[in-house]
Amino acid sequence: MGFSVIGKSLPRKDDPLRATGKAKFTADFFLPGMLYGKILRSPYPHARILNIDTTKAERLSGVKKVVTGKDTLGIKFGVTGFIPPSFDEYALAIEKVRYIGDEVAAVAAISEEIAEEALDLIEVEYEQLPAVFDPIEAMKPGAPEIHDLEHVKNNISLYVDRNFGDVEKAFKDADYVREDEFYCQPVDHAPMEAHVSLADYDVSGKLTLWTSTQSPYYVHKHLERTLGLKESQIRVIKPYTGGGFGDRAGGMSACEFCAALLSIKTGRPVRISYTREEETSTSPRRHPMKVYLKSGVKKDGTLLASHYKLFADTGAYNNYGCVSINIPIEAMTVTYRVPSVRYEGYLVYTNTQPSGAMRGHAHNQPSFALDTQLDLIAEELGIDPIDIRIKNARQEYETSCSKIIVGSCGFTRCLEQSRDLSDWNNRKKKQKQGRGIGVGTMSFASGAAFNFFGAPSGYSAATVRLLDDGTVTVLTGASDIGQGSDGTLSMIAAEELGVSMNDIRIISADTELTPVDYGSYSSRVTMFAGNAVKSAASDAKMQLFETVAKKLEANIEDLEAKDRRIYVKGSIEKGMSFAEAICETMAANKMMPVIGKGNYNPHVQFNMLTGEGNCTPAYSFASYVAEVEVDKETGVVKVPYLVAAHDCGRAINPTRVEGQLEGSVQMGLGHALMEELVMDKGLVLNSSFLDYKFPTALEMPSIKSVVVEAPDPHGPFGAKESGEGTTIPVVPSIGNAIYDAIGVRLKEMPFTPEKILKALEEKEKRT
């Protein structure tokens, strides 16, 4: 199919605004009379609040309002509404605090300094309670009870036990069975912009909130619930936002709630900006997980069975946890054709920072285990690591043991390309001392069709307005947080309507103006919002076609929209300009505006009881090969080169897809080698960018990105996801390469020089 716009690497129309500093992020707004908010946080990991005395703080000059849990409606929130117990958090603590950083009170004052000073004057009387910081400890009988909830025993918020296929029999049939234990550390999203929210509650009783969010609609819904406002009283706008990676993907943050509440109470605009410390230590992190994996294979490497046990530390609150503990099934059953899988997942409360969704959401951990264990098995059986993967690789349109229908699948091609472009076969044979290569893989959902709010599904809607000068306005709820959805969606609309990208103006992520879209999470935007925009554009186009067909006395089916014209296919002169067509259509319809409506609401069926079925229409796949250099004297690992082959269905914008791959490599590299939230009894010790280290330009490998296209019939122009899944293969590829280089196997992330030296020493002792 010849595309005009799709497949081109076009910048977003507003990239020049970002390049010149004119793009306004939330912290760049100053409203008249604006107050500055600050949040008082618990210094204890677990304590009962006996009393809060705010009088001194209120008396400080410049302080306009102090609020505590008593000033709220005391309604719990969370992320997922479909599992009732999932809502377990108050925006401002009531009775108890459950982690260091839990929100206790908030202040609005005429300056940030005064607000800070006021925090010191709030007197909180706590009764400290015993606390627990490790999920395994927390599950033991007699451990401190963090939530007093009926369904929670031993701090287990959710336990799932899934059985697909006949696991017991499969293990019996296996020629080789092995068991390994892995650990994935807590890591931080670390978007460059910390949380910031500006609320303005006006005299008409309307609350406008500008906020750095990935999901304005969730924020809207939660504000509605927790503040007791009507849907129409709230407007949530996402201005330019500095990244997210899952950090602000769900529910609502205390930043948003407190800014809104303080604005309501003072009648003045209130802005709250998190410090980097708050961002790192109180906004969600990736679930630290212990992963047990037992796999059974035939002699030839065919996978027969896996049994996973995951212990996910959700911290003090569920946040995304109830989703997080359900979706690893995809990682376990989709990437490889394993016929039987048992999965036991424990979502466990501890007195630590809450965990949430993060790029590759709950897939990274089991995938790290699987990809590492596959190499161990391959070695044992004398099979090449890529061969064993190709042997078991998922093929298109298969159904997994978990009854997931897989759509298009270019996984084998990804494996082959990463092998060939990395010169795998040669390098495997003759490698310099301390150098090695390794492979890592993934599959990932192109958007979860979960229904978090009892809506029919996690859907997207869009409208497209055609203006009489031939330009187009796209309205979408999708949030561009940097990944580039504004550009991608503009391109989709341009392609569908046969106009140029320049003709498109996009208005996005404003709950008052734009149709519903649940947000930028689960790598859903291209699939969901993309399809919605495509269908809205198509709807508008059909309105034009109708008029044009009448005018030209042609068949609608024979018409084509291209190069800003609508004409009979094959004879470009037989038609009219796009602008004319719009004017004609309006004229033919009593000057009615031409507006196309569209939505996307895939029919996928995930069974919450059995864990079977799809929660997404399509899967992306990838295979990466990393090359490492290990200094055996110091244990320091460098990654000079990495090939990333990724089946994203169709690259709507190849530069953006590469950008996702490259950004993912940076994040994965950080997770593999250096990133870890260090905690002492629930207190995060490295909450600054100096101490929480992620790679600079100097650590980056040279990256060869390969876009493998296996267009999916569900995707807009065949596109699937790119962005989340792309982080997953990095860690195992590096881990496997380290093994190739120096013969030591690390099962605990991150792979620090010390762990490497220790493993080397142990290896020497053994031999």
Partner 1 sequence: MSLPKFDYQAPQTLDEAVLLLSKAKKDAKVIAGGTDLVVAMKQRRITPALVVNIKGIKGLEYIKNGKGELRIGALTPLSSIEESELIREKFPALAKAAGAVGAPQHRNAGTIGGNICLNTRCWYYNQSPFFRKCRPVCYKFGSDKDKCQLFPTREGKANVCYSVFSGDTAPALIALGAKIKIKGPEGEKTIPLTELYTGDGKRPIALAPADIVTEVTVPSPPENSSSAYMKYRVREAIDFPLLGVAVSIALDAGSGTCKNASVVLGAVASRPVEVTEAEKILKGKKITEDLIEQVGEAAFKAAKPLANLLECSPQYRKRLAKVFTKRAIKSALEIIKSA
Partner 2 sequence: MIKLEKEVINVKRLIELIVNGMSYEIAVDTHRTLLEVLRDNLGFTGTKNGCDQGECGSCTVLIDGRAVHSCLTLAMDAQGKNIETIEGLSEGEKLHPIQQSFVDHGAIQCGFCTPGMIMSSKGLLDKNPSPTEDEIKRGISGNLCRCTGYVKIVDAIKAVEGR
Residues forming the site for ligand FES (CB under 6 A): 192, 242-243, 482
Q: Decide whether 354 or 695 has the Cβ nearer to partner 1.
A: 695
For the purposes of burial, counting CB atoms within 10 Å of the CB of 662, is it exposed (0-12), middle (13-18) or buried (19 or more)?
middle
Decide: is 15 part of the binding site for partner 2 (CB under 8 A). Answer: yes
Q: How far apart are CA 2 and CA 515, in angstroms?
A: 30
Q: Which helix (H) or strand (E) holds 308?
A: strand 303-315
Which tokens in the block code for residue 665? 């490599």
Minimum distance from residue 195 beta carbon to ligand FES (Å): 15
For the purposes of burial, counting CB atoms within 10 Å of the CB of 378, is it exposed (0-12), middle (13-18) or buried (19 or more)?
buried
Decide: is 678 part of the binding site for partner 2 (CB under 8 A). Answer: no
Q: Which helix (H) or strand (E) holds 625?
A: strand 619-630
User: Helix (H) and strand (E) counts for the chain?
Assistant: 20, 30
Q: Decide whether 43 or 144 has the Cβ nearer to partner 1.
A: 43
List the interface residues with partner 2, window 291-320 (CB under 8 A).
none
For the purposes of burial, counting CB atoms within 10 Å of the CB of 514, is it exposed (0-12), middle (13-18) or buried (19 or more)?
buried
Minimum distance from residue 285 beta carbon to partner 2 (Å): 14
Minimum distance from residue 198 beta carbon to ligand FES (Å): 19
Q: Decide whether 192 or 678 has the Cβ nearer to ligand FES.
A: 192
Q: How far apart are CA 698 and CA 719, in angstroms?
A: 33
* Contact with partner 2 (CB under 8 A) among 433, 571, 688, 713: 688
Instruction: Choose the one of partner 1, ligand FES, partner 2, none that binds residue 28, judging by a C-beta under 5 to 8 angstroms depending on kind.
Output: partner 2
Minimum distance from residue 240 beta carbon to partner 1 (Å): 23
Q: Decide whether 275 or 577 has the Cβ nearer to partner 2.
A: 275
Minimum distance from residue 243 beta carbon to ligand FES (Å): 5
Decide: is 20 part of the binding site for partner 2 (CB under 8 A). Answer: yes
Got the DSSP string for 73-100?
----B-S-SSSGGG--B-SS-SSEE-ST
Which tokens in the block code for residue 455? 């809506």
Nearest residue to the partner ligand FES, using Cβ: 192
Which tokens in the block code for residue 141? 């009988």
Minimum distance from residue 352 beta carbon to ligand FES (Å): 26
What x/- string results for residues 27 through 56 when contact with partner 2 is judged by CB under 8 A? xx-x--------------------------
Quick one: which of 502, 485, 592, 572 has its CA closest to 214? 485
Rounded to 5 degrees, φ, ψ at 219 are -60, -45
Decide: is 225 part of the binding site for partner 2 (CB under 8 A). Answer: no
Minimum distance from residue 289 beta carbon to partner 1 (Å): 22
Quick one: which of 104, 125, 123 has its CA closest to 38? 104
Instruction: Choose the one of partner 2, partner 1, ligand FES, none that binds residue 434, judging by a C-beta under 5 to 8 angstroms depending on kind.
Output: none
What x/- string results for residues 96 through 125 when contact with partner 2 is judged by CB under 8 A? --------------x---------------
Quick one: which of 365, 354, 353, 350 has its CA closest to 137? 350
Instruction: State which amino acid sits at residue 208.
Output: T
Q: Decide whether 190 or 677 has the Cβ nearer to ligand FES.
A: 190
Decide: is 500 part of the binding site for partner 2 (CB under 8 A). Answer: no
Q: Decide whether 185 or 302 has the Cβ nearer to partner 2.
A: 185
Helix, strand and coil in the chain, % to nearest 5: 30, 25, 40
3-state secondary structure of 646: strand
Instruction: Choose the one of partner 1, ligand FES, partner 2, none that binds residue 267, judging by a C-beta under 5 to 8 angstroms depending on kind.
Output: none
> Of the listed pieces 256-264, 423-431, 617-625, 656-664, which binds partner 2 according to CB under 8 A?
656-664
Q: How far apart are CA 340 and CA 345, in angstroms?
A: 16
* Contact with partner 2 (CB under 8 A) among 2, 21, 142, 456: 21
> Of the listed pieces 140-148, 343-351, 377-385, 686-694, which binds partner 2 according to CB under 8 A?
686-694
- How long is the chain? 767
Quick one: which of 485, 565, 564 has its CA closest to 532? 485
Instruction: Choose the one of ligand FES, partner 1, partner 2, none that binds residue 21, judging by a C-beta under 5 to 8 angstroms depending on kind.
Output: partner 2
Q: How many C-beta atoms surround the C-beta of residue 130 within 10 A? A: 11
Contact call for residues 470 and 526 (beta carbons, < 8 A): no
Rounded to 5 degrees, φ, ψ at 611 are 80, 10
Q: Decide whether 113 or 398 has the Cβ nearer to partner 1.
A: 113
Q: How far apart are CA 469 and CA 33, in angstroms?
A: 41
Decide: is 767 part of the binding site for partner 2 (CB under 8 A). Answer: no
List the interface residues with partner 2, window 530-569 (CB under 8 A).
none
Site of interaction with partner 2 (CB under 8 A): 9, 11, 15-25, 27-28, 30, 61-62, 110, 189-194, 240-243, 245, 275-276, 481-484, 655-656, 658-659, 661-667, 688-690, 694, 696-698, 700, 703
